[in-house]
């Protein structure tokens, strides 16, 4: 297909900019918990290790690209100078936060399911993507939708209510009848002041292992993720599930480098540098058990990855200016427009 680069696509990558953006705010379960929930969902539904990793990267990019929406005035306060690009606020709606009524939460769940199914069907028909991106788009859609589903259990009072009632295991959304859900007085947190009677995100979230109810929220999100992927498979029989489950790049050294060396390293190292891997006192280390050495080694890994990303984006044949092909659904095909369509955030509805 002859497609042109969308205006506003990020054209350069700066280490300092990435770190400052990642450090600015936490939007979601920290990366370790999202990655674990996604891993278990893909494994439980029969996907290969490479398919699982592609979906984990997609899940993370949903978070990372939302952080890049820092308003210009906030960038200026931090003294950041970057190449400006069109903000894509569809990502902001995929963290299941700042939704304040039971009716709006119900509507968001309904839209998330319908929008994700519609997105998968859209690309199942074929002909909308270039061949090298076809399967990646599906992983991007699954990972981005899983991100929103997982965040519901961290950012709402669902887990709080069931834990306080000593219900175990905590049911997932689709386990509970709509009539019973409406009796729960559900809400999610709010980011900005004034709070106007809403519970702040900082008080309600269960994003890292040092937060209250994190263990319960993760356990519920894991089962919800497994259920979600199965639900998508059952709802879209026309998708190439056989190819998606068997996906292997072990004999393709170029794609293997993109995914397992660059994108996987970016996921872990940028999260660690930004304090977004598992809070300030992570229960798990990646590079070193010593916290200082961990950050130093992560910084070296991130610097190298960003250098390769920058080189990739400068290649003339890379017409979408992608860091790797595993960003294509987000940066070339705007899959989050489709998934976020109609979702609510702070009383506002996302529209294209």
Quote the CA–CA distance of 62 and 147 in Å, as a whole number. 7
User: For the segment 35-68, what is each residue's pLDDT rounded down to a tens digit?
Assistant: 999 999 999 999 999 999 999 999 999 998 887 6
User: For the segment 297-346, what is each residue's pLDDT rounded down to a tens digit?
Assistant: 999 999 999 999 999 999 999 999 999 999 999 999 999 999 999 999 99
- 3-state SS, residue 315: coil
Backbone angles phi, psi at 348, to 5 degrees: -110, 150
Residues 6+ apart with CB under 8 A from 210: 279, 280, 281
Backbone angles phi, psi at 339, to 5 degrees: -70, -35
Is the pLDDT score of 19 beyond 80? Answer: no
Helices (H) and strands (E) in the chain, counts: 16, 2
Half-sphere exposure at residue 315, Cβ-oriented, CA atoms within 13 angstroms = 13
Give one word for 185, left, alpha or beta, with left for phi > 0 and alpha for psi -120 to 50: left
Q: Give the pLDDT band of residue 6 (cuts 50, 70, 90).
A: very low
User: For the segment 94-107, what is each residue's pLDDT rounded down to a tens digit?
Assistant: 999 999 999 999 99
Residues 6+ apart with CB under 8 A from 197: none
pTM of the model: 0.91
Query: Which pLDDT value is given to residue 255?
Result: 98
Query: Which pLDDT value is given to residue 87?
Result: 56
């Amino acid at each position: 297909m002859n497609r042109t680069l969308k205006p506003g696509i990020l054209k350069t990558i700066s280490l300092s900019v990435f770190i400052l953006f990642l450090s600015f705010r936490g939007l979601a379960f920290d990366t370790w918990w999202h990655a674990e929930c996604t891993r278990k969902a893909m494994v439980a539904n029969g996907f290969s290790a490479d398919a699982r990793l592609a979906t984990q990267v997609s899940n993370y990019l949903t978070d990372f690209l939302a952080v890049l929406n820092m308003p210009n005035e906030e960038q200026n306060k931090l003294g950041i100078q970057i190449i400006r690009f069109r903000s894509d606020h569809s990502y902001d709606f995929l963290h299941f936060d700042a939704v304040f009524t039971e009716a709006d939460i119900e509507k968001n769940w309904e839209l998330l399911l319908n929008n994700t199914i519609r997105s998968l069907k859209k690309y199942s028909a074929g002909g909308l993507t270039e061949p090298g991106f076809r399967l990646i788009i599906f992983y991007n859609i699954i990972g981005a939708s899983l991100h929103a589903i997982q965040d519901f259990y961290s950012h709402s009072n669902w887990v709080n209510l069931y834990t306080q009632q000593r219900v175990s295991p905590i049911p997932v959304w689709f386990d509970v009848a709509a009539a019973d859900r409406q009796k729960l007085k559900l809400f999610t947190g709010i980011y900005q002041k004034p709070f106007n009677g809403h519970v702040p995100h900082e008080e309600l979230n269960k994003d890292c292992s040092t937060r209250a109810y994190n263990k319960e929220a993760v356990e519920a999100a894991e089962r919800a993720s497994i259920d979600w992927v199965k639900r998508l498979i059952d709802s879209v029989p026309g998708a190439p599930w056989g190819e998606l489950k068997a996906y292997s790049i072990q004999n393709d050294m170029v794609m293997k480098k993109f995914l397992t060396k660059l994108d996987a390293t970016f996921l872990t190292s940028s999260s660690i540098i930004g304090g977004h891997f598992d809070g300030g006192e992570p229960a798990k280390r990646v590079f070193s058990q010593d916290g200082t050495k961990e950050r130093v080694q992560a910084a070296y890994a991130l610097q190298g990855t960003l250098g390769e990303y920058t080189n990739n984006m400068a290649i003339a044949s890379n017409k979408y200016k992608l860091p790797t092909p595993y960003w294509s659904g987000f940066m070339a095909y705007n899959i989050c427009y489709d998934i976020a369509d109609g979702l609510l955030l702070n009383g506002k509805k996302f529209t294209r």
